[in-house]
Structure 1
Amino acid sequence: MSRRRHDRHPLGRGVARQRSNRHALHTSRHAPSPVEPAAENPLIRALRPALRSDDPSAFWVAAAPLVTELANLEHQAEVLPEGVDLLDTFLEINVAETTALLHMVAAMSPDEGLRSRAQVGLTARRQPMPPQVSGLAQASVAEAVAFSDGAGENLMVELVLPRGVRAVLISYIPWSPSPYVKDTFVVGESMAEVIRKYREIMAREGGSLDAVLEVVTTADARARFSQALANTSAEVEQSADWEQWPMLRPFVEFVVGRMPEGGTGYDENDLLSGPLGASLTTPERPPWILEDGTDLVQEFTVSEHAADLKPGKAVEDLAAYLMILLDASFGDPLGWDSELAEWILSEVLPTVPMLSKAAVAQIPAALPALVGWSLERKGEEPSVIAQTLSALTPLLEEFPARRADPHMRARRLEEQVDYALELEDSTALRLADLALRAGGFEVLAELDTTPLPTEELALALFPEELRGLAAEIDAHLVEGVTALLEQRPGSAESDELLTACRRLLVRVAQLDDAVLRRKASTRNTAAAVVSIIARGNDLMGYSPAPLHEKDLRRAFDLRSAPSQRARSLKEAAALPHRYTGRRKRAGPCGGSLVTS
């Protein structure tokens, strides 16, 4: 099986699945008026065939994106009347499709207020529902299995609902650079049937499912899913290859919640024994040392390919790291090809934290030399070597800019925490966490306790056409922060919070002003900015934080938390994710009051 297929599901094309008109769900973003005839409502038309399908998974797939949309206030304020949100429009339309949607919202919405309103709305509904809809509240997870391809695993769990309805949720979770959900789909069949089909497919390809199949406890499956979901950005761009992910995320989180807690997740020391584990400490035989004692790193550095490179530790460290990475991922420290090179240059090297600046500076010159030498040593044809090196050229030209990109910088700060965890060095972990919170090691080194000065919003740094919008957001900031801190007297704290919020808003405008151009309530945007800053500085959140989400909603007069808007703003501002506890990623923070 080729590497390109390592991250594909054999059943992704082999199992017939009824699918809804997902295009209608995403192009009809604005809710129609409640008085519009139900038959003409495009969202209801999209849900209707899925609700009537014999495939129990069809409605879940069709409705899951709407569960997220209902909690998203970004585009609703300018379309709906004041005080009305998208859920209100579906509560007003009493038809089978909206009743089924209310069941989905009541079971799996991330917003507690929406769940409660949907549950109340269902008390007035009388349409008969299929068991895969009405039985969501009674759903349970019966069993879990997994099988790996060397680079990741397919994790599968069976969902059981009333009246014999069964379905299997299948997620592909790569292990490097850390476990994350790359693709997910749901199959409306039993686990036994899905395993049977996988077994047949793999047998036709010359493999054996039974040789790699692992029975997983449901508690361990929950821990693995939770760990991978925490590493998966909610703003991940949907690939054209994946038909259900990431729109299916609310359903995945619902299924994970039906499994027991207390399990064990992935041991990243074991999964990444090459890059971040034993090979970086003192292994008996690192991957660049062959069984006969040959040192591949030394052999490369004295070869003609490396003749033009500056000799020294930087090149040796870079070559060793890349051999570790290839060996851990594919079992061959010299196994380069164009697809692998693209992955390493675009995803791994821009975010890797353990390489020194000197080693990173060697990448544009050393990588082509290493790849050419590796392929030549393996006996590849000159044409294959030339083709691979040719594919590297544009990637190497883009590499310095990609490494410097703020989003890559944020990921490096996150990876630095992971690296400290792998080393089990409490001092390194504390420093990495502080650097992540402050905005980088350079910022941390210059940090002092001087409060941020009082600053007005720097409107001149916004595009001219966004300055009016920015001023309106700023007015809500002033009003909301004052209301939020009214129980905490002292203008200094209020002024400092406002300055931090204003700096974050400027950062968003400078890095990705598209998020400000979207249709969204300016009050909601202001509340989201305050939420990011307050949570990032432990001013708001779980105890002992003095303020809580309900305080924010009250201060900004919101019916629900601005979590979706905050997530979009954090992504636009390239803020790293905050870690709490061992390998448990908490909500994104950043924009600290103590940053410059």
Structure 2
Amino acid sequence: MSFDLTAALHSEVPLTVAGLASTMIEALRLGGGARDRQTGRRITTVPQLADSFMGSPAPEATALLHAIAVLTTDEPLARFICHELADRHDPLPEDITRLGELTASAAYVRQYADGIGEGLVLELTGPGVTRACIAAFVDYRFGSAVKFAAVVAASFEEFIALDARAPEPVNDGTSFVPIDRADAAARLRGAITQYDALTDVIQPAEQWPWHRPLIELVLRSLPAGGQGYPEHDPAFDPGAEEPLGAALVSAFLGSEFGASVPVDAASVEVVDALALLSCMRAERGVIRWTAPTVQWLLTDALPLYLPADAPRYADAPHLLRALIAYCHDLLGVAETATTMACAAVARFEGDYLRLRDDLAVAARRRDLEQVVEEATGSRRATRDGPR
């Protein structure tokens, strides 16, 4: 980590030091590190970070210690830093010395016209703080997980003016409306919790999650008991009445990636199978395609699940490529990963077609159908498949 603490201290933008301290704390939480310039010792924890500034009488060190004491959730560390600060009397701005009084005076929400998510804005207030707010985007497609959140140097009115000049889809004609601060806090807390469950698939943004400790400080100042997002979103809950597979089929067929899929029962049967089996390999409702996943699907699961006489059996590889492109576009996965996954489809397509009439597969398929029939009393159970 390399930061210009002197420039941050002398910045005219409020909360610059707090934002810098927040970034340092979050970077360490995520496994980052730095070197103490005086001792050369590696810094890997917040207590080590604070200790590296304890020996410096510089105002920059004092300012950063003020911010760490407020932002850390380590209460013994905060008390220790405050004891140290009692003997320091550097003239510092109030947005540093009274950072603990930072809160949100108003909150606003905007649901985007395409239905994929909503924007949240919390206007900030506190000693020495003017023209600052938290701006966040919550993505419904990830079970209402936060995809971006940061403290920005703008009032709500200034943020709206900037937002109005943005191109589509950011500026889609929808407007922010007031929301109760407790509700906004509950939503953002829940969205951060959902983000934590999906950190391996949601890519970091320019300022997220680096401002997370600063944002969570504000959330702690707001009333509890607000109405957050539903705890179980049917589109992302495999145990819901409409399982993830059904939601995926609906979303895929309604997207540009599914536009080339023929609208007939035979094609939908294959897409249903692909979606259902894909969701069996999904982690917490998120599907990321790799060569091993493609191999499992085409050489093990799908030939066993689809009947050999399915009219669109041979179309499955083509439909799978479109589904992969849709899922990866949704996740923001790099094009190289999509290319590699589609290359795996081409590699195993021949095996998949050959297995259609394979005697061993046919026997396993009959055994599966018998088990399903005995368990459900039906010849075909759409929510079951090979494990």
Q: Distance in 1 between matches of 2:90 and 2:288?
A: 54
Contact 1:61 1:244 in 2 (8 A): no
Structure 1 residues 157 and 346: alpha-carbon distance in aligned structure 2, compared to 1, 3 A threshold: farther
Q: Distance in 1 between matches of 2:322 and 2:30?
A: 52
What is the Cα deviation at residue 246 of structure 1? 2.1
Q: Secondary structure at the match of 1:209?
A: coil
Contact 1:238 1:245 in 2 (8 A): no
Structure 2, gaps ≥5 residues long: 255-261, 280-285, 294-299, 307-312, 324-336, 349-386
Structure 1 residues 218 and 321: alpha-carbon distance in aligned structure 2, compared to 1, 3 A threshold: farther
1:231 aligns with 2:231: no
1:300 aligns with 2:267: yes
Determine the structure 1 residue equivalent to 2:330: none
Please, what is the CA RMSD of the aligned residues?
4.9
Q: Where does 1:123-522 land on structure 2 (aligned, <5 Å)?
A: 123-149=86-112, 150-163=115-128, 165-201=130-166, 207-210=172-175, 213-233=176-196, 236=199, 242-267=205-230, 269=232, 272=235, 277=240, 279-280=242-243, 287=250, 296=263, 298-300=265-267, 316-319=272-275, 344-346=287-289, 358=301, 368-371=317-320, 392-394=341-343, 396=345
Q: Distance in 2 between matches of 1:99 and 1:204?
A: 43
What is the Cα deviation at residue 215 of structure 1? 2.7
Determine the structure 2 residue equivalent to 1:110: 73
Q: Distance in 1 between matches of 2:303 and 2:124?
A: 47
Contact 1:142 1:157 in 2 (8 A): yes
What is the Cα deviation at residue 320 of structure 1? 6.7
TM-score norm. by structure 2 comes to 0.61
- Identify which of 49, 53, 58 aligns with 2:11: 53
What is the Cα deviation at residue 116 of structure 1? 0.8
Structure 1, gaps ≥5 residues long: 1-22, 26-45, 307-314, 324-342, 351-356, 375-387, 400-441, 443-596
Determine the structure 2 residue equivalent to 1:79: 41
Structure 1 residues 208 and 68: alpha-carbon distance in aligned structure 2, compared to 1, 3 A threshold: closer
| Corresponding residue pairs, total | 299
Contact 1:67 1:250 in 2 (8 A): yes
What is the Cα deviation at residue 115 of structure 1? 0.8
| Aligned-pair identity (%) | 25
1:24 aligns with 2:2: yes
Contact 2:111 2:174 in 1 (8 A): no
Structure 1 residues 71 and 124: alpha-carbon distance in aligned structure 2, compared to 1, 3 A threshold: farther
Q: Distance in 1 between matches of 2:197 and 2:265?
A: 43
Structure 1 residues 389 and 174: alpha-carbon distance in aligned structure 2, compared to 1, 3 A threshold: closer
What is the Cα deviation at residue 372 of structure 1? 6.8
What is the Cα deviation at residue 113 of structure 1? 1.4
Q: Secondary structure at the match of 2:288?
A: helix
What is the Cα deviation at residue 257 of structure 1? 0.9
What is the Cα deviation at residue 394 of structure 1? 3.7
Determine the structure 2 residue equivalent to 1:66: 24
Tell me the amino acid that sits aligned with residue 95 of structure 1: A
Contact 1:238 1:246 in 2 (8 A): no
Q: Distance in 1 between matches of 2:19 and 2:202?
A: 16
Structure 1 residues 68 and 287: alpha-carbon distance in aligned structure 2, compared to 1, 3 A threshold: closer
> What CA deviation, in whole Å up to 9, does each residue of 1:89-123 have, x standing for no partner?
31221221111112111211021111111211221
Q: Distance in 1 between matches of 2:201 and 2:241?
A: 35
> What CA deviation, in whole Å up to 9, does each residue of 1:522-549 have, x standing for no partner?
xxxxxxxxxxxxxxxxxxxxxxxxxxxx
What is the Cα deviation at residue 231 of structure 1? 2.6
Tell me the amino acid that sits aligned with residue 11 of structure 2: S
Tell me the amino acid that sits aligned with residue 318 of structure 1: L
